[in-house]
């Protein structure tokens, strides 16, 4: 195949090189643009060289018309935006840690690793090592339509990356301050500090008044607006719609007859306090229909039933009420959102409640159990026999071990989620769905990521499973894996997996399917992958690694380094099968 005229090969890798026109050399300060094409495949290199050539021509045209390159002012704006995004994500992650137990574990881990990560940033700054921030720089440049026009070996690109490193150092210091309860810290680096504000213009400010532009429908009660509210919330499952109706009906029951415009924060607090003493599943257990009667009857019992926990109150009730009033405020039904900031306080997660990783002997026991060596039948997976299972119960623990994915991420995975990125097959963990009736979920914004398919999984024939699912026309990789009543794939599998561990004698009080994720985190660390690479493949919200700048496709070097991941002492050779065999 003939290569593009500006494509060159060196040490097995391909590069793009183009001479800068004479009239622009002085403006650019060099005579050529040179950038890596990030591949050793000549076909891929040719396509990328064509795109890079187009970017270079656009750059030359823009400069001749008086346009700018990546100016110091643009770099400063990008760096400040980057800093603010990370701090916002850090703040969001801390709030979420009080609602989602897994996020509490991640925050604890981040706090423990804060000092070592800061030292890594300092070392990178001192050596001008920009590898950890290239992915963020590339995403910013794509956003401003300069992705193919900036030479990654040029001064402007390196200045941008160095600025992002300086921003990361300031973020690390703000996060460490927040760990100590200090939320008012300011950056000392002038590149990251906000530009000085112009002097204020003093004008008379009218006294605050209640809104007078509310529509006539604001005099109706909350329940009168539920249908309109749900009609605007697209892609809700039937279960989610039922949850909204239930929580809003319970809210209306507790606060009494009130128009939506007259609901106050005090009403929401009253609702929260009532839920804190409401017994679980009271309609079935106490045979009553209202919250008030349930509370009264439960108090009269010699042994009161357990009540709703803070997590349920926040996620199933207060969150839905808050979402409803946010919609109401936008639609001129109320002056503000009375549910904003109101939540049930959760007890801090104790170390004894956190999950342990599996020990190697436990993994060998699990993957040497009847499910993996021969079981009695598809209904008797823990009894020895001649039946060999290769469905979702076989694959899911292996995928958990070699991808670190959460259970629900695996259950909703689709055939189209297998993507080839720079010649390496990856799992695409995204919200994109080929089934309009099935909404995919991610735990956090940082959950969007691309994880390489480990060679061990390929040796076990996983790609044959993918090919068979595609041949049969399935949308999901595991169509037999049904969703739970709560709308999550994780619920039924988690219960089955705990039972299976008990049946084969490897269950402990601190192990569950989530233990695979801890194993994966340890394996990434043992493979000596950099902090930023580990956080990316884990999908961590580590002080802002979430969001749009940390969730694009990984650089080839990251995917290649991932291949080093392994588990010393784990023997899975009995699961290997020749490619293409049934």
Tens of pLDDT, residues 324-351: 998 888 888 888 888 888 888 765 544 4
pLDDT of 351: 42
Query: Which residues make up the CATH 1.10.443.10 domain(s) of the chain?
Result: 355-575
pLDDT of 578: 64
The per-residue pLDDT of the chain, averaged, comes to 82
User: Which has the closest alpha carbon to 335: 208, 205, 212, 206?
Assistant: 212
Residue 425: pLDDT above 80?
A: yes
Residue 420 forms beta bridges with which residues?
A: 425
pLDDT of 53: 72
Q: Looking at beta carbons, which pairs linking 19-26 to residues 24 or more positions away fall under 8 Å?
A: 20/60, 21/60, 23/64, 24/60, 24/63, 24/64
Average pLDDT for 89-94: 79
Residue 78, judged by CB atoms within 10 A of its CB (0-12, 13-18, 19+), counts as buried
Q: What is the pLDDT of residues 496-533, one digit of tens each?
A: 999 999 999 988 877 889 999 999 999 999 998 888 88
pLDDT of 541: 57
pLDDT of 523: 94
Tokens of 56: 């270079």
Residue 34 forms beta bridges with which residues?
A: 17
Average pLDDT for 307-312: 85
Q: What is the pLDDT of residues 345-371, one digit of tens each?
A: 765 544 444 568 899 999 999 999 999
For domain 355-575, is the CATH number 3.40.50.720?
A: no
Across the beta sheet with 7-10, what order do the strands follow?
Answer: 7-10, 13-19, 32-36
Average pLDDT for 367-381: 92
Residue 430: pLDDT above 80?
A: yes
Question: What is the percentage of the chain residues whose pLDDT exceeds 90?
Answer: 30
Q: What is the pLDDT of residues 35-80, one digit of tens each?
A: 777 677 777 777 777 766 766 666 666 566 555 566 787 788 888 8
Confidence of residue 315 (pLDDT cuts 50, 70, 90): confident
Residue 391 forms beta bridges with which residues?
A: none
């Amino acid at each position: 195949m003939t290569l593009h005229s500006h494509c060159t090969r060196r040490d097995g890798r391909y590069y793009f090189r183009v001479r800068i026109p004479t009239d622009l050399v002085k403006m650019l300060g060099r005579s050529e643009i040179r950038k890596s094409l990030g591949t050793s495949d000549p076909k891929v290199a040719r396509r990328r060289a064509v795109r890079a050539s187009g970017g270079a021509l656009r750059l030359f045209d823009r400069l001749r018309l008086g346009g700018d390159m990546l100016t110091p002012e643009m770099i400063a704006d990008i760096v400040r935006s980057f800093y603010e995004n990370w701090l916002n994500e850090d703040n969001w992650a801390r709030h979420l840690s009080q609602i989602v137990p897994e996020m509490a574990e991640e925050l604890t881990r981040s706090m423990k690793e804060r000092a070592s990560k800061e030292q890594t940033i300092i070392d990178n700054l001192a050596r001008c090592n920009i590898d950890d921030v290239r992915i963020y720089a590339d995403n910013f440049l794509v956003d401003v339509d300069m992705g193919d026009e900036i030479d990654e070996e040029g001064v402007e690109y390196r200045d941008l990356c160095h600025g992002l490193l300086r921003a990361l150092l300031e973020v690390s210091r703000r996060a460490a301050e927040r760990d100590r309860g200090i939320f008012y810290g300011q950056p000392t680096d002038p590149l990251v500090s906000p530009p000085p504000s112009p002097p204020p213009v003093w004008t008379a400010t009218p006294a605050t008044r209640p809104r007078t532009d509310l529509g006539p429908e604001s005099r109706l009660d909350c329940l009168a607006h539920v249908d309109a509210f749900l009609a605007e919330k697209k892609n809700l499952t039937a279960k989610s719609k039922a949850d909204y109706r239930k929580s809003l009906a319970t809210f209306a029951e507790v606060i009494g007859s009130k128009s939506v415009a007259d609901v106050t924060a005090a009403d929401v607090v009253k609702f929260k306090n009532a839920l804190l003493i409401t017994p679980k599943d009271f309609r079935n257990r106490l045979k009553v229909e209202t919250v008030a009667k349930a509370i009264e009857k439960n108090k009269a019992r010699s042994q009161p039933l357990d009540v709703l926990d803070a997590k349920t109150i926040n996620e199933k009730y207060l969150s839905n009420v808050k979402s409803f009033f946010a919609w109401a405020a936008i639609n001129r039904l109320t002056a503000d959102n009375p549910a904003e900031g109101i939540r049930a306080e959760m007890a801090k997660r104790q170390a004894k409640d956190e999950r342990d990783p599996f020990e190697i002997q436990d993994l060998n026991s699990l993957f040497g159990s009847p499910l993996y060596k021969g079981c009695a039948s598809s209904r008797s997976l823990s009894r020895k026999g001649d039946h060999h299972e290769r469905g979702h119960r076989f694959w899911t623990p292996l995928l958990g071990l070699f991808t670190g994915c959460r259970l629900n991420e695996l259950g909703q995975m689709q055939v189209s989620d297998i993507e080839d990125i720079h010649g390496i097959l990856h799992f695409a963990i995204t919200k994109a769905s080929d089934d309009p009736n099935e909404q995919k979920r991610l735990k956090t914004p940082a959950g969007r990521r691309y994880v390489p398919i480990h060679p061990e999984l390929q040796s076990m024939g996983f790609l044959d499973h993918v090919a068979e699912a595609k041949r049969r026309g399935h949308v999901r990789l595991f169509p037999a894996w049904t969703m739970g009543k709560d709308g999550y794939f994780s619920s039924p599998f988690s219960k089955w997996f705990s039972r299976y561990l008990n049946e084969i004698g490897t269950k402990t009080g601190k192990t569950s399917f989530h233990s695979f994720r801890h194993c994966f985190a340890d394996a990434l660390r043992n493979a000596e992958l950099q902090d930023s690479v580990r956080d990316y493949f884990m999908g961590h919200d580590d002080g802002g690694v979430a969001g749009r700048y940390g969730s694009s496709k990984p650089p080839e070097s990251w995917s290649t380094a991932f291949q080093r991941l392994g588990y010393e002492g784990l023997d899975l050779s009995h699961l290997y099968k020749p490619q293409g065999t049934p």
